Amino acid sequence: MKKTFYFLIIIFIIGIASTAYLFLTRHRKYPQNQTKPVATQPKMPSSDSGKITIKTEKGDVSVNNIEKDPVQKIAFDDSVVFRKTDDYEMSYYPTDQGFIITLQNSDLTNARTAAEKDFIDALGISQEQSCFLKVTLNVPFDVSQAASGRNYGLSFCSNGKPLPKK
């Protein structure tokens, strides 16, 4: 009984010490000449800017400012939906400077072709430049069970994957 009691007391003291340590380290003061570290993330430029620069592994790509006239702004992560049709939806996520193209039509081949052309036109870039960007092209489960759950990429890029046959 005494060993169990002492063991519980030691566990309790360790718990109190750990909690106090965590509390103090999270609320410590920074010296006046040092600022608290802040996580930074790329921000979209103001909507009066005509171009934005996307940083890629193969260099910067200057694209049309897709924030100027978005279909929808998503406040919690500063992302924007910049194209939306019955066949596809396109979004930009400034946090990771990535794009998502979601095919919405079960005629996947035609939807992909139209989406890829519109993507290049919307950004005002070449096919080659679009291959430098981080682009996810996907299909929701309710559009095609067989095609859902994969990133197909852009068909004309080296990492592009073919859509499944019907």
Q: Please count the other Cβ atoms lying within 10 Å of the Cβ belonging to residue 102.
A: 18
Q: Please count the other Cβ atoms lying within 10 Å of the Cβ belonging to residue 4.
A: 8
pLDDT, one tens digit per residue, over 101-153 is 999 999 999 999 999 999 999 999 999 999 999 999 999 999 999 999 999 99
Is the per-residue pLDDT at 32 higher than 50? Answer: no
Is the per-residue pLDDT at 17 higher than 70? Answer: no
CA distance linking residue 132 with residue 79, whole number of Å: 20
In this structure, are residues 101 and 92 in contact, taking their beta carbons and an 8 Å threshold? no
pLDDT at 85: 93
**Structural tokens at position 55:** 């940083």
The residues, ordered by sequence, that sit 6+ positions from 3 with a Cβ below 8 Å of its Cβ are: none
pLDDT at 18: 64
In this structure, are residues 122 and 91 in contact, taking their beta carbons and an 8 Å threshold? no
Q: Which residues pair with 103 in a beta bridge?
A: 88
Q: What is the average pLDDT across 68-83?
A: 73
